[in-house]
Amino acid sequence: MSWTYKLLRGGDDLEIRPFEPVTSSGTLIIETVGETGYIDSLTVQRKLAEGSASFGIRLMEGREVQKYDVEGSSWVSDTPQTTFGPLLVRELNITEHPDRPDTWRVDFVATGMGPMLNGADEVIGSPNITVSTVSRPRNVSAWREGATVPTDTIASGAFTKSVWRTGIDIGGDAIDINTTPVSIAIDQTVVQIQKIVRWPYQDWNAEWKFGQTGSTTAGEIDLSALEEYVGARNTEEFLGFPVGTLYWQSVEFQPHHHEFRLVTLTFVYDPWKHAQQVPLVLEQFATPTDTDLTTGMSQAKIVLWNQVYFDPFTLSSDYPTWFSDAEWDYLDDVFN
């Protein structure tokens, strides 16, 4: 009893497109001799999946194609590698030969995402990342026009509150009407970064792999850690935006291709650093006022900056949690 295979066409055909699956396909001819019992497509599938060293190849949906290296006594990859690790088999088509009994044709398709790697594990091609921006105004309640926005102070990786609560008037020209603020528009820029991430996939030992290197430790997805980023402001300049001006609004993971996700990071730039103007109020809830000699109106005497986003986030090439080296090179070269 024996099983043999002949590789008519290996996984050498490649279809590579940005933000689209990298596709490789191949064809095998499987022959059986002396097998007892009924041989059908499921039997062939089980043989391909059992990892028989004497057979020499193993192939299963959700795993990478591997051949057995007799000299090294180990299984080695037979599909290309991308920056996200190996391509995995997504489709299997097992067809019995119409004229030769116990002979089967097996067509498979393996896919992955991301640019390819060369023999030195260096990226070949451009990273799958895009940056889009939309400028729009934010209507705010204002007591002062042309006020000075304080410089953020960073202590121990967090924004200090003292810089926003000193009791010092913010300056500028009074524009409120009898201490009632007016609505003005200030510029905002919404920045969206889209990229591909890989969620866990299984190797031939049924172990879950993570990250761009395919290791079991790098790049694990910690959804609970998102609260460290969302709702925070930048502690370092990012995309050319000064410290404190960029607010991390949201993170979205959308299904893209099997275990791959399209992640969208949304940031909002605000020249007021997302602060608001608030007039000083005394203990009796009275607002100190000045009288405009021209109009006779009373206007808030002291206006303070009030900041509600004190949580910090740090994104830079020294903190590679969100971006690979190639993606950081793109962001640094284009936007800084």
The average pLDDT across 312-317 equals: 84
What would the two tokens of residue 199 be? Answer: 């969620």
Looking at the structure, tell me whether residues 163 and 98 fall in a common domain. Answer: no
Looking at the structure, tell me whether residues 44 and 136 fall in a common domain. Answer: no
Looking at the structure, tell me whether residues 220 and 71 fall in a common domain. Answer: no
The average pLDDT across 264-272 equals: 96
pLDDT at residue 168 tops 50: yes
Place of tokens 């060369």: 118
- 285-305 per-position pLDDT tens digit: 788 888 888 888 899 999 999
Looking at the structure, tell me whether residues 176 and 309 fall in a common domain. Answer: yes
β-sheet bridge partners, residue 185: 139
Looking at the structure, tell me whether residues 63 and 152 fall in a common domain. Answer: no
What would the two tokens of residue 235 be? Answer: 């502690």
Give the helix/strand (H/E) hosting 202.
strand 201-202
Domain final position from 71, 89, 117? 117
pLDDT at residue 147 tops 50: yes
Task: Count up the domains in the chain and report the number.
Answer: 2
Per-residue pLDDT band for 220 (boundaries 50, 70, 90) equals low
Distance CA 273, CA 187 (A): 11
Q: What is the pLDDT of residue 257?
A: 94
Give the helix/strand (H/E) hosting 47.
helix 41-49
- 37-52 per-position pLDDT tens digit: 778 899 999 999 999 9
Give the helix/strand (H/E) hosting 328.
helix 325-335
8 in a structural domain: yes
Most confidently modeled of 46-60, 161-175, 307-321?
A: 46-60
What would the two tokens of residue 47 be? Answer: 């043989």
What are the C-alpha distances in Å from 302 to residues 153, 168, 173, 288? 22, 7, 12, 7
Looking at the structure, tell me whether residues 211 and 240 fall in a common domain. Answer: yes
- 85-133 per-position pLDDT tens digit: 899 999 999 999 888 888 999 999 999 998 888 877 788 888 899 999 9
Q: What is the pLDDT of residue 92?
A: 95
| Domain encompassing residue 26 | 2-117
124 in a structural domain: no
Q: What is the pLDDT of residue 221?
A: 66
What would the two tokens of residue 290 be? Answer: 């000045």
Q: Which residue has the higher pLDDT, 188 or 317?
A: 188
Please calculate the CA angle 126-130-132 and round it to the nearest 5 degrees. 155
What is the greatest pairwise CA distance in the chain? 108
Q: Of 193, 175, 192, 197, which Cα lies nearest the Cα of 184?
A: 175
% of the chain at pLDDT higher than 90: 54
Q: Is 202 exposed, middle or buried (0-12, 13-18, 19+ CB in 10 A)?
A: middle
Domain final position from 77, 97, 117? 117
Q: What is the pLDDT of residue 315?
A: 86
- Amino acid letter, 197: V
pLDDT at residue 277 tops 60: yes
Place of tokens 């070949």: 124
Q: What is the pLDDT of residue 255?
A: 95
Q: Is 138 exposed, middle or buried (0-12, 13-18, 19+ CB in 10 A)?
A: middle
pTM of the model: 0.87
Q: Of 228, 230, 229, 233, which Cα lies nearest the Cα of 154?
A: 233
Q: What is the DSSP letter of 293?
A: T
Distance CA 136, CA 147 (A): 20
Looking at the structure, tell me whether residues 170 and 103 fall in a common domain. Answer: no
β-sheet bridge partners, residue 116: 82, 124
Looking at the structure, tell me whether residues 180 and 305 fall in a common domain. Answer: yes
Coil, helix or strand at residue 112: strand
- Per-residue burial over 164-178, b if 16 or more Cβ lie within 10 Å, else e, is beeeebbeeebebee
Q: Of 71, 64, 66, which Cα lies nearest the Cα of 55?
A: 66
Please calculate the CA angle 189-194-200 and round it to the nearest 5 degrees. 145
Q: Is 217 exposed, middle or buried (0-12, 13-18, 19+ CB in 10 A)?
A: exposed
Looking at the structure, tell me whether residues 223 and 95 fall in a common domain. Answer: no
